[in-house]
Structure 1
């Protein structure tokens, strides 16, 4: 025999509708609830099925099970009326004016589904004007989900709250747990740390706290992001910053500011940007060959948005080296291009030994210790916090280099490394673990590009070792390491678009599917997920060099770009409004 389990969707709704009609007509009501002198007829069975409080209250052994009237002094008449409406209709009318009455009654009467709707209402109604109020309400009634959402909203919109039209007074009235959570957030875009520190001091002055709680609150400030002059000034005028614990944090931050060469190696949560996102920086390059720009563009792989860094490079560079250590951008050497003001077609190019460092925390450039030699078209890489500059073109009297130098951050200077077995420039470079690979380039005074591959184990630091050569001679190309393998892309003098990969374990190169277009003078980087991104470049077409801007339709640059170098680092997010 077969059975079918059938469901009527209208039965439950019809049942509640009939109960509501009975209540409105005052029929079959067997209990009266009283709050603030106001009476509400109701039905025991429906109350007991909707509320754990009434379920316990109307058990057979209780006095209330036989009572005609039950007084509820702990709830307001407004709150009780709203909760009863919900019990009878599944609907509840919420606003900021009746929210607390509703929560008070729902909590006391243990109507959990009404509490869920209050959480949903708070989460979907957040604005700059009410978020602090909602945070306090959610904290008072232990609405953990609503509280987490509200705290996150306050952090992400802190710039607006601290602005001229913001609710700073609301921030100063924020409950301690929410304020502590907000100050510890990684997502506070567009707000300087000094402003957060001043807000914390203002909050403490408006809310009396024991020293232990004050220290816990102020420890959420990232003192390494506060300029030293601000730290010293605020510490001298604010006693909460002079407790032994906070004083030690400030001293560590001041020591960090003094150790300029070591800053990339001394990163911690107190020096990490809030609201940062991983960006691809396009350093140097321009619309035309030999006409680089000082602007640096940043590309967000997630949102596919392009924006400019707020501070330009000090000079127009091409064929420079770029790398990132401790979320500081280093720009090394390269050719300084100076265009004649009267004749823009004339340009003077000088090989440089200068090293510039960009700090996204304070958005400024600083000139560092120069290279031992002037270099352009050289390899630049980082292994365990040590920057390597390898080969390249030097000054006219020494056109091609075999020398290697590395930047010792503890000493704050460049030191000679293991030299290459031959002079080379225009080679590509990539690292796997503690090993450095370079490939191709042009050796010495030769004119033809090379297939050779060299490897240096930086732990042994003895000698460069030859590895299996590429199948294609390449110059001005790029290499990338992805999941333990090397990939060599394109090059300047190739009439084809081949890519090949190298397996270090097998010491073998494998030819892969080519790209649709040949290209050189492009930028290339690998995302954390292993996706290779290529930016701009030039291409041979009918004997002419043509700037191109598209690769696989991932993103179209607003204008052609060639000669750029790519790195990845964290930058401040755009302000959310």
Structure 2
């Protein structure tokens, strides 16, 4: 037999034995001795109870008892130690935990047990109580939990309770606890960027709190009113429920805020620079607001016009289906206004005779539901629509007699009425349309003979007047336009070319071309980038193909990247950006 090496010999000469049950068995025996009052040398006392214990066990269990029994405190020499502020049931729980490592936490004992664990320095028991409270969190009790977390200096509970309070604001706002907050607490809560609530609900919560104890709380009205971000409130709600509120009108400082808001909301004039804005008006939307890309209608897979509505989830890189359009609409126009989608006109494509529509359908992403709006003055399709302030402009298109319309109507979303505006200089179909600096721009399009029109037609919104400019740079048909930064970008239109127009200098800047010659596509801005969806493309042999492409243009790098494919081929559809709080309904 070969001799063992030294390492093997050492390994063979020793054995590390571990009895994993020894510690728990020892603690169990100590607890039996305690219960039989054997070798106990100190009693922990409340007003009504004495619990015999072993000093060494208590001293080993927490820094609190170690300091008490291992220092020169008088308790180290006494046989009875009084613990103030702890009731007898809680003391039993604490001693049981010391000797067994177990604690039965319930809704009845969690608070006194947590307080005792904090005082006697049992951090794991303290965190177990915190975890229990976190498991019991609801929108109804989260504000109370925040207060408790501050009393106990428990950051984990505070963080979780705060998250619930911010995420479920509508339910929290309806709770009785909100009315009991102090002014500082309410200001901190309503002013949080992470609050998941529409500003109308924030205003209502603020007013409910004030009116709960009007005489005592009226002094805080101005500071709390500033937490409502008025620029993101629906103007109709502002006009009917805020601007004329008697309580706000009674405060000169609140009146000043209201007047500033009125000027910003209801004036047709835009803001020329950030310097013109009141500081309160520069506050960004809350973090809970997100931009969504929405596609609706159009021709799907070269078949009939679809009613489908799709939402793009950037985080999951997925398309999700929303409630379908109420009817099939061929070449309708669509815009977003006040966190809703408006679909205007189009040709109805039912089983019977097709008809040109003057109907307006409104979609709420929050409720995933369509409703019927105020109809347009003129039925039209193949028209263009755009938004400025509280107004929707419906421009040109084809009328009921198949004539090319030069008319333009304007919808006032506050008064819920349509009115006729000045006609455009030259009636065109399928121009690129955008609004910038109080002016509405129509680029190109085609005349009744389907010839490209090399014009820029400009409408001065405040003056209700048009003028036109001829340019050789324009030759787009069936192309969208978007505002990207300080420029208007015209995206394709029987061409690969991307042109950025600077209204200040009246000059065009050529951007990186698209991969294909494209028309009848959609385009929208999301996160300072341009997204282009679907359309039809001209191949090298001049044939036309439908597309399911989904591309992104980054103006900082002047480059295009593919975002994958749409769920199906699509053209003549609407492509919109909708800013709102993420919906809570389940997508189908």
Compute the TM-score of the two structures, normalised by the length of structure 1: 0.69
Equivalent in 224, 233, 237 of residue 247 of structure 2: 237
> Which whole-Å CA distance do the structure 2 matches of 1:136 and 1:485 have between them?
43
| Mapping 1:469-548, distance limit 5 Å | 473-476=517-520, 492=536, 494=538, 519-520=546-547, 532-533=562-563
> Which whole-Å CA distance do the structure 2 matches of 1:220 and 1:228 have between them?
18
Question: CA 1:415–1:281 in structure 2 vs 1: closer, same or farther (change >3 Å)?
Answer: farther
| Mapping 1:181-220, distance limit 5 Å | 181-186=188-193, 189=196, 193-206=199-212, 215-220=222-227
Alpha-carbon shift at residue 571 of structure 1 (Å): 1.7
| Mapping 1:358-507, distance limit 5 Å | 372=424, 374-380=427-433, 389-394=442-447, 396=448, 399-405=451-457, 419-427=471-479, 441-442=493-494, 450=495, 453=497, 455-456=499-500, 458=502, 461-464=505-508, 473-476=517-520, 492=536, 494=538
Match in the other structure for 2:260: 252
Cα deviations across residues 33-68 of structure 1 (Å, max 9, x unaligned)?
112321122222332333333232223311111011
| Mapping 1:274-353, distance limit 5 Å | 275-285=288-298, 297-302=310-315, 304=318, 306=320, 308=322, 316=329, 318=331, 336-339=345-348, 343-345=352-354, 350-352=381-383
Alpha-carbon shift at residue 416 of structure 1 (Å): 5.3
> Which whole-Å CA distance do the structure 2 matches of 1:355 and 1:429 have between them?
10
Cα deviations across residues 324-381 of structure 1 (Å, max 9, x unaligned)?
79x878989x9x5334889435769644355356979x99888797884555433356
> Which whole-Å CA distance do the structure 2 matches of 1:482 and 1:278 have between them?
7
Partner of 1:40, secondary structure, is strand
Equivalent in 61, 65, 72 of residue 54 of structure 1: 65
Partner of 1:32, secondary structure, is strand
Q: How large is the Cα RMSD of the aligned pairs? A: 5.3
Matched residues, number = 515
Partner of 2:346, secondary structure, is strand
Unmatched tracts of structure 1, length 5 or more: 443-449, 499-516, 537-548, 552-560
Equivalent in 111, 114, 131 of residue 125 of structure 2: 114
> Which whole-Å CA distance do the structure 1 matches of 2:204 and 2:243 have between them?
13
> Which whole-Å CA distance do the structure 2 matches of 1:370 and 1:79 have between them?
80
Alpha-carbon shift at residue 391 of structure 1 (Å): 1.8
> Which whole-Å CA distance do the structure 1 matches of 2:583 and 2:531 have between them?
34
Alpha-carbon shift at residue 211 of structure 1 (Å): 6.7
Match in the other structure for 1:568: 577
Match in the other structure for 2:285: 272
Unmatched tracts of structure 2, length 5 or more: 1-6, 358-379, 392-411
1:400–1:423 Cα contact (<8 Å) kept: yes
2:531–2:553 Cα contact (<8 Å) kept: no
Match in the other structure for 2:229: 222
Cα deviations across residues 60-102 of structure 1 (Å, max 9, x unaligned)?
3111110111112222223333233333333222222222211
Cα deviations across residues 382-420 of structure 1 (Å, max 9, x unaligned)?
8899875422234x2684222235677888987757834
> Which whole-Å CA distance do the structure 1 matches of 2:198 and 2:510 have between them?
50
> Which whole-Å CA distance do the structure 2 matches of 1:251 and 1:440 have between them?
43
Compute the TM-score of the two structures, normalised by the length of structure 2: 0.68
Alpha-carbon shift at residue 227 of structure 1 (Å): 1.9
Match in the other structure for 1:76: 87
> Which whole-Å CA distance do the structure 2 matches of 1:440 and 1:227 have between them?
40
Partner of 2:292, secondary structure, is strand
2:330–2:347 Cα contact (<8 Å) kept: no
